[in-house]
Amino acid sequence: MHLSTHTWMRPEPLELTIKRASSLGYTSIELAGEPSRYTVNETRALLKKYDMRCWSVVTIMYGSRDLSAADRAQREDTIGYMKSLVDLAAGLEAKVITVVPCTVGKLQPSASSHEEWEWVVQGVRIVALYAQEKGIRIAVEPLNRFETYLITNTTQTLQLIEEANVPNLGVAFDPFHLNIEEPDLITAIRKCGDKLFDVHLGDNNRLSPGDGSLDWPLIIQTLREVGYDGGLAHEAMPPIDRTSHGTFGTKQLEPEPWDVDEGTLQFLKDHASGVLKEDFYASMLARTVETILPLIK
């Protein structure tokens, strides 16, 4: 296992993200799935410069991106978007694409739940077959019930994988989401077994590992037991108190207005957060290293 980090949590030049992560002890990134922002050659050069690699690329599901959409053209556009991430991952020699099937924040079906399940199975199958041709694995990520109604636990995820029936399909396991949805996190890891393709790092409160209540030594031990040897991708994202009496964001957030595109800003706000100050963001990354690195050496 090795330490990786997502890149979507703070909008900034990619070189700054990679340089910081490398200096703190990370060895790879899980790249935000926005292919229009990155060229393969420039990204490969940055990774080489800081002795890093791309472990995975993750879908960023906002706006019209939704495999469960009632509109067929919207579903086809989403499949096209996901295929473009496969191409990006292949160009960067990444191992995995992490796929969230639906728009983050979609909490009820817009068609029948049966239809939407079938559309997701079909869409995931198409993307997985395309990825299989390029040697890329697809890890489907269950989110908690407050971010999606579809695919919220490992049982549903494994059922989707079984129905899609493509061998390069597996699970992206995020203890933050699954500590809400699973009766027992450790049992859930064991149930995934060799279908565990990616692991994200966020504590029960979505702060860095060590700043919540999850048992990280036991989690890492169980990952070893099931044979997982891939990336452990930092994805801590602190919730911000936006009430008139809230002071939590005072030290953590950059002053507004934020110079961020509308889609990215909405994605951050949908995660109850905002644009984090650089020093606070760096401290979260460092806390993950402090907690996790001694467990995987």
Q: In a structure prediction context, what are the per-residue pLDDT tens digits for the chain, which is 297 residues long? A: 999 999 999 999 999 999 999 999 999 999 999 999 999 999 999 999 999 999 999 999 999 999 999 999 999 999 999 999 999 999 999 999 999 999 999 999 999 999 999 999 999 999 999 999 999 999 999 999 999 999 999 999 999 999 999 999 999 999 999 999 999 999 999 999 999 999 999 999 999 999 999 999 999 999 999 999 999 999 999 888 878 787 777 778 888 888 888 888 888 887 878 899 999 999 999 999 999 999 999
Q: How far apart are CA 165 and CA 155, in angstroms?
A: 15
Torsion sign over Cα 127, 132, 136, 142: positive
Is cis: bond before 257, omega within 30 of 0?
yes
The pLDDT of residue 267 is 86
So what's the pLDDT on residue 86? 98
Residues 6 or more apart in contact with residue 70 via CB below 8 angstroms: 110, 111, 115, 116
Identify the pLDDT of residue 155. 98
**Is-contact 84 38, C-beta < 8 A?**
no
Which amino acid would we find at residue 41?
N
The phi-psi region of residue 120 (left if phi > 0; otherwise alpha if psi is between -120 and 50; otherwise beta) is: alpha
Contacts of 150 (CB under 8 A, 6+ apart): 68, 101, 102, 106, 109, 113, 116, 117, 120, 156
Whole-model pTM?
Answer: 0.96
The widest CA-to-CA distance across the chain, in whole angstroms, is 54
pLDDT at residue number 266: 83
Would you state the pLDDT for residue 144?
96
Q: Are 210 and 238 in contact (CB under 8 A)?
A: no
**Contact (CB, 8 A) for 139 and 170:** yes
How far, in Å, CA of 100 to CA of 78, rounded? 11
User: Which is it for the CA torsion 158, 164, 168, 171, positive or negative?
Assistant: negative
Q: What is the pLDDT of residue 41?
A: 97
The pLDDT of residue 62 is 93
